[in-house]
């Protein structure tokens, strides 16, 4: 008796307090039904949407979103050698360089680079392709820094 009382008050929050034990399960099935009807299409819709926007990352190099994501990864992993915003340090400055091509950057980031005793490790095992293209987008964006036109 006491147990049932506790159970009943526990369920009161979801509006089931007046339901007897036997009628609880149909209510549950109605919820399952509602979730299936309204939940599934929105999952499916989400999947469909991301498929539509899944164009090659190389086509989105000027997107603000790519550049922002690249900047975050860069500031966490690359500034140690490349300096804040690619200003240079252990490697050459990457700002204001308009000769960089997307392919060159992508390949270099993926495979690494050595210059004298300075070695950049390959990043292809650390970052997936999408993340590497974000880095490319960010580095390309460094040629349009305000300081480049001074």
Interface with ligand HEC by CB under 6 A: which residues? 74, 77-78, 80-82, 90-92, 94, 105, 108-109, 113, 115, 118, 120, 123, 135, 139
Minimum distance from residue 130 beta carbon to ligand HEC (Å): 14
Minimum distance from residue 65 beta carbon to ligand HEC (Å): 18
Nearer to ligand HEC, 60 or 93 (CB): 93
Nearer to ligand HEC, 23 or 75 (CB): 75
* CB burial readout 105-142, b (16+ within 10 A) else e: bbebbbeeeeeeeeebeebeeebeeebbbbbbbbbbbb
Minimum distance from residue 103 beta carbon to ligand HEC (Å): 11
Closest CA to 70 of 54, 55, 86: 86
CB 143 within 8 A of CB 119: no
* CB burial readout 23-33, b (16+ within 10 A) else e: eeeeeeeeeee
Minimum distance from residue 110 beta carbon to ligand HEC (Å): 10
Nearer to ligand HEC, 46 or 122 (CB): 122
Nearer to ligand HEC, 12 or 144 (CB): 144
Q: How far apart are CA 49 and CA 39, in angstroms?
A: 15
């Amino acid at each position: 008796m006491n147990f049932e009382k506790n159970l009943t008050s526990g369920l009161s929050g979801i509006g089931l307090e007046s339901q007897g034990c036997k009628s609880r399960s149909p209510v549950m099935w109605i919820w399952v039904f509602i979730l299936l009807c309204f939940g599934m299409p929105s999952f499916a819709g989400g999947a469909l949407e991301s498929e539509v926007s899944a164009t090659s990352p190389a086509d989105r190099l000027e997107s603000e979103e790519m550049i922002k994501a690249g900047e975050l990864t860069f500031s966490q992993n690359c500034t140690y050698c490349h300096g804040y915003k690619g200003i240079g340090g252990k490697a050459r400055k990457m700002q204001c360089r308009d000769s960089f091509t997307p392919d060159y950057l992508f390949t270099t980031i993926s495979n690494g680079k050595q210059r004298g005793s300075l070695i950049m490790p390959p990043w292809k095992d650390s970052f997936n392709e999408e993340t590497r293209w974000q880095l490319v987008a960010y580095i390309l964006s460094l040629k349009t820094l305000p300081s480049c036109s001074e």
